[in-house]
Amino acid sequence: MKKLLIGNAAVARGAYEAGVRVACAYPGTPSTEITEEISKYDEIYSEWSPNEKVALEVAIGASIGGARAICCMKHVGVNVAADPLFTFSYTGVNGGLVLVCADDPGMHSSQNEQDSRRYALAAHVPMLEPSDSQEAKDFTRLAFEISENYDTPAMLRLTTRVAHSQSVVELSDPERVELKPYAKDAAKYVMVPANARERHKAVERRMKALAEDCNGLPINRIEYGDRSVGIICSGNVYQYVKEALPQASVLKLGMVHPLPQRLIREFAKNVEQLYIAEELEPVIETQVKAMGISCKGKELFTVQGEYSAGMIRQAITGEAKAALQPVLVPPRPPVLCAGCPHRGVFYVLNKLRLTVSSDIGCYSLGASKPLNAIDAVLCMGASIGMAHGMEKARGREFARKAVAVIGDSTFIHSGITGLIDAVYNKGNLTLIILDNSTTGMTGHQHHPASGFTIKNEPTHLLNLEALCLACGASSVRVVDSYDMEGLENAIKEETGRDGVSVIIARRSCVLLDKGRKNYYTVNAKCTNCKLCLRLGCPAITSGEKASAIDKSLCTACGLCKKVCRFGAVEEAQR
Amino acid sequence: MMQLNVLIAGVGGQGTLLASRVLGRYALAQGSDCKLSEVHGMSQRGGSVVTHVKMGEKVYSPVIEPGGADVLLAFEALEAARYAHYVKKGGMIIVSTQKIMPMSVVTGSAKYPGDILDKLTEMGYNMVKVDAVGTAERAGNIRAANIVMIGCMAKLLKIDYGQMRKAVGESVPQKSLEVNLKAFEEGFNAIKLP
């Protein structure tokens, strides 16, 4: 049967067809849908883990236990999971293990555009890179074979354009893969120095074997055409090359680590000018040049953002297709939704002019105008450590005008240790946990404090108040996120207090509350003072004589009524 | 085989994803190769979103190049202007006349160009303006404006009514099937071909 699938759904299908038994992930764009799709297969145990490191460790346990396991994350998630990855590379697998990482060239939804291929090189693990959904499915299955045949974790690299593009996939029946026997094998799995030294030799042997064998791997293939131009490429860039230069000769790499050196030499010999077209870092180019082969790469192509057929055509042929210039119109960046529970918190933080270390999630949007409330955003969990470090640099008085804010899911991911650190090292810190009871930005995934599993089954609910108290916070209080007065008082009190305080601003994500809500309207008392516009609510628009509220967007959160000094906002029945 | 590149532009939440999936399903039923490129995550939160639909004998890149779209299906006037340069010579912009203010306009740092659609017409674009929201409201739900637009496009491109209707029916959630089919019909009939 043929089906249109996004790359992520195709990976999920590949995992199913490969007989995967365990799947673990922490959500992260553009990888989230892989595990969401896997969770629909009852044959596979799936979970949202609290972070990528734990996810990989669970998958590793499943592999050692004899099952095929898959672990999925976005590119920056590999940073978090790197510790187990680098040593699991030494132990190798029992059941096959595939780590899927989704890179985000162009940063559609990320804080950097690091290139995961460098992880494959650094950790000495093979990496496959599909160029469409069919390959996403096929390469997932192949990755499990390679993992088991070469006793190694295998990585599958996606980019946003593969992960989130739909293309036609031919579905197959699942393989029957038996659980492998488990036998204690300390020399293989106990990574103390004496054992690890032996395993490191195994890593070297395996990578040499792979480097030789990948020359004959059908997913590395030469498509000869006009031999005056030869292009080495992989992934979505292959699609751009085929569209831009259908006549050119192409070496398409399905495996991007290790590289098929014999195939590359053969291709280089048979084309007049060799080009390397790869998004982000010159990973292939550096290696090809180290082989003593002359080629053109990053002198023509940028390390920034996404490529396209047009830019490849222009870089190689010098021909630019004449296209019209874009019409200049006001930008439309993403904004916090109407009714978003984070809005009131950032309004208050802006009003109090505090220094705000923030974190990764929808609430990074609190940095945008008009809320303008955020000073720093770095990576998952960093807000707390950064706020603590700022106090250590600038002193107690500075900390009275500073807070850290973090989402509930992000706090569980990697914020807890930051809180423990601030308490342990006698910090003076006010932490605001923006608890909307979900992982919002990635499309509402459950987490330990939402009380439900990936399959929507009720489970033990992590109690954030008790957790923060156990970490040693001297004060923990809960405030309704819509209660701006309560928030302001709490923030003033807690920043004035010595020690570490936690304010949990709690209200579930407005997108999860599907109930019919009332709405607000603007009456004749509006003086057009425009204070309500400082909320940055997409439902409120500025008018010539008065503000207006878009009934279709309004969720009756009531923030505008609270900020209005003239009683010009009133509730109406829907 | 129909070769067609459709760029669907709008504001996060307007249903560009569903619209593209309807076209994908239609393409597959025709036996065409097809690729769609979507937007998820951060960029969906009320921001400008664009999804690419490409169908034909063989599709390589899932992304439409500037100057490469046969049709720009724009769910909002400003977004029509933002992506107009993607339309190829002789191509068409089908635009919902709905206006949604971006935050830069709300906060007063930019002005919404009120005459933007006239400007596009002056620039020589082949424009078809549609009251998609009003039509969807008449069909029973303003949220079905995306399917109204699909109906309009089907009529303008002389796509078989029944086959596109089938693709709509197979793509929308069961509970909103009736209203979406109605929206499709209303959209199709809203266009009067010369």
Taking the C-alpha atoms of residue B5 and residue B33, their distance in angstroms, rounded to an integer, is 12
Confirm or reject contact between A500 and chain B (CB < 8 A). no
B147 by Cβ neighbours in 10 Å (0-12 / 13-18 / 19+) ranks as buried
Taking the C-alpha atoms of residue A32 and residue A47, their distance in angstroms, rounded to an integer, is 12
Q: Which two tokens stand for residue A216?
A: 């004959």
Cβ separation of B65 and A542 shorter than 8 Å?
A: no
Split at pLDDT 50, 70, 90, the class of B107 is confident
SS3 A272: coil
Give B54's strand partners. Answer: B5, B35
The domain segmentation of chain A, as residue ranges, is 2-174+192-215, 221-317, 342-512, 519-572
Using CA coordinates, name the residue in chain A closest to B117: A327
Question: Do A89 and A121 meet the contact criterion of CB atoms below 8 Å apart?
Answer: no
Of A336, A337, A442, the CB nearest to B41: A442
Taking the C-alpha atoms of residue B107 and residue A369, their distance in angstroms, rounded to an integer, is 8
Using CA coordinates, name the residue in chain A closest to B25: A4
H or E element, residue A424 = helix A416-424
Of B33, B41, B46, the CB nearest to A337: B46
Residues of B in contact with A536 (CB under 8 A): 103, 106-107
Show pLDDT as tens, one digit a residue, over chain A (574 residues): 899 999 999 999 999 999 999 999 999 999 999 999 999 999 999 999 999 999 999 999 999 999 999 999 999 999 999 999 999 999 999 999 999 999 999 999 999 999 999 999 999 999 999 999 999 999 999 999 999 999 999 999 999 999 999 999 999 999 999 999 999 999 999 999 999 999 999 999 999 999 999 999 999 999 999 999 999 999 999 999 999 999 999 999 999 999 999 999 999 999 999 999 999 999 999 999 999 999 999 999 999 999 999 999 999 999 887 767 888 999 999 999 999 999 999 999 999 999 999 999 999 999 999 999 999 999 999 999 999 999 999 999 999 999 999 999 999 999 999 999 999 999 999 999 999 999 999 999 999 999 999 999 999 999 999 999 999 999 999 999 999 999 999 999 999 999 999 999 999 999 998 777 899 999 999 999 999 999 999 999 888 899 999 988 899 999 999 999 999 999 998 8
Of B101, B102, B119, the CB nearest to A331: B102
Taking the C-alpha atoms of residue A70 and residue A47, their distance in angstroms, rounded to an integer, is 11
- Integer angstrom CA distances of residue A318 from A300, A313, A325: 10, 7, 19
- The residue to which tokens 């804010």 are assigned: A405
CATH for A2-174+192-215, options being 3.30.2270.10, 1.10.10.10, 3.30.2040.10, 3.40.50.970: 3.40.50.970
Decide yes or no: CATH 3.10.400.10 for domain A221-317. Answer: no
SS3 B104: helix
Strands A22-25 and A97-103, sheet pairing = unpaired
Complex prediction ipTM: 0.95
What percent of chain B is modeled with pLDDT above 90?
Answer: 85
Question: Do A539 and A367 meet the contact criterion of CB atoms below 8 Å apart?
Answer: no
The domain segmentation of chain B, as residue ranges, is 4-103+114-190
Alpha helices, H only, A42-74: 52-64
Task: Count other Cβ atoms within 10 Å, centred on residue A528.
Answer: 15
Give A168's strand partners. Answer: A4
- The residue to which tokens 């040499």 are assigned: A208
Confirm or reject contact between A308 and chain B (CB < 8 A). yes
Decide yes or no: CATH 3.40.50.150 for domain A342-512. Answer: no
Size of interface A-B (CB pairs under 8 A): 186
B97 by Cβ neighbours in 10 Å (0-12 / 13-18 / 19+) ranks as middle
Class at the top of the CATH hierarchy for domain A519-572? alpha beta
Architecture per CATH, B4-103+114-190: 3-Layer(aba) Sandwich (3.40)
Q: Which two tokens stand for residue B102?
A: 């971006």
**Closest to A257 (Cα-Cα) out of A156, A148, A134, A135:** A156
Taking the C-alpha atoms of residue A11 and residue A78, their distance in angstroms, rounded to an integer, is 18
